[in-house]
Chains A and B, each alone.
Chain A
Amino acid sequence: MNRCDEHAADILLYLRDELTGQKLDEFRDHLASCPDCRAQLEEELALSSLLRKSRPLYSAPETLRARVAATVVQELSTSAGVPDPFGGIRLQGFARWLSDTGKRAFGWKLVAATILLFVLGLVFVPDIAQRLRAAAYVEAATQTHRSYLNGELPLQCRSDSPEAVTAWFADKTPFHFRLPASQPALHATPAYRLTGARMVSYRGSPMALVAYETPTEKISLLVASCKSAIAAGGDEVRSGNLTFHYRRGETFEVITWSNHGLTYALVSSLASSAQHSCLVCHQNIKDPATGKP
């Protein structure tokens, strides 16, 4: 074992000021003469900084954590078969630790940390995974719309007939979907117009791109299977049984929703609120807040 191997653990202790006395002096002397360990220390500092910048900025208040801890202890004492949501945290050891008053000298800091693991297992990890999947779909929809605007994704089917576009997709998508036959004829001048469609790929699965345009801009509607894309996050607007998720980026606005096994993403540059974006093309729908058109 060389000198650097001996100091590998010291680097991790040094990061958190847990190295003291003679060990600290020895490590500093070694660091001064060892470029490899200095580089390793820089890498570890960067990793810690990145991880800490990414942690949630909100957490449950101490009183709530204490109540959760008490509930967990009670549950563990009355139930032998509690499922292990984190897939590896040792519940029995946890129960022993919580019930061991001697070890509680560490205080609520440890209780909070342990509760965090349970909360992560039950809520945080699935939620993050879902949000990541939804965000990935929004990002893909935005990229696709940008490529379409730049002319990199020319339409493979040019038609203003919803029936013709629906027929064109029939043998190209692994899922079935049908465009509405026509927009409500309440206005002499339609708010938008269907221009065509093409196939694109998302995570190795086919995705449909339907192109619309208003007098001033182009709009993309992406349609993917719920198996590859989900809608979540953003500002939520409910209309009937549907929940629309609205996100406003630096350049585009994206509205996503799921219905009948398909997930849709509508991308445009319409600078407006979530509800007003829908009202641009669907003036006849009611505002869910006021009940008025």
Chain B
Amino acid sequence: MATFYQLDFEKPIVELERQIEAADNRLKAELAAAGATGEESTPINPTIATLQVELAKMRERHAAELTATYSRLTPWDTVRVARHPQRPQSREYISMICRDFAELHGDRRYGDDPAIVSGFARIGPSPGIKVMLIGHQKGKETAEKIACHFGCAHPEGYRKALLKMKLAEKFGVPIVTLVDTPGAYPGLGAEQRGQAEAIAVNMLEMSRLRTPIVSVVIGEGGSGGALGIAVADRVAMMQHSWYSVISPEGCAAILWKEANEQTNQAAARSLKLTAADNLSLGIINEIIPEPVGGAHRDQRGAATNLLGWVLARLNELSRVPMDELLQQRYERFRKMGSYLESHAEPQAN
């Protein structure tokens, strides 16, 4: 196993993974020394046999430990899994689920924001269905991360997304968006070029685009920056992603007056930001399961589940007449919110 970024709650697991790797290497060395070509036909070597048994036991323990750890993640743990550097990002999902990807750049007004990836794609069994794929990109290597502002898009990013979505509408191609952002970029240029306007216009336009839209929160669903590409007919979250009005750190800094391990924990809990919370609040339609131990342990497994969900939902939406689809999309957001109502007579002032 390659060197692994370590989350503190994963320490025992990673330690076990190291032991397994070492034992595995030892076993390979022993097998080589014994001149074995395969498992059969070699006489029983007690060292090798012991190692094999030990290895099997360790693997069992590892699987159990992994399942147990991931079934008791706190909301704050979930946020950290969602930010794991080995977690697949939009470009990785694209390379894993698309048969073809024709990337389309730029907003025709200001520039090409690398924090938003967009283009025509073919997904699913050959020849693949055509979609417009739009996603936040956080960046993997340092240079890419900086160019992408760690997934914080600028107004030109949101406008690029909208331009490509309108293209999809024009040619009757459904839209798939992958959400993964800590939030829209807070900076001088972003404000000057109308960050708020760009996000607002995206939400307004997405609500009336005459083509099916599905969205998946793959990692971080940070506030308006996330929603700016997520006004969709169906919205899902990957099992260990988060989606909320603010990051736990931002919330802790304001309401708890300081962000530290303890207040971040508390804020993450209060914000009800996990996939399960968002499902019960009616904000998302479904949770896409991740392989045991998270998408960062098995990127392909995660991609397979994501693709399956997208194909199923698009198939379902393709049967809905367009006017009905738009009505349902409107109602989906129209009913969100929680309030009480007393029916008092209107008062004149």
**A and B associate:** no
Report which A residues bind B (CB closer than 8 A).
none
Report which B residues bind A (CB closer than 8 A).
none
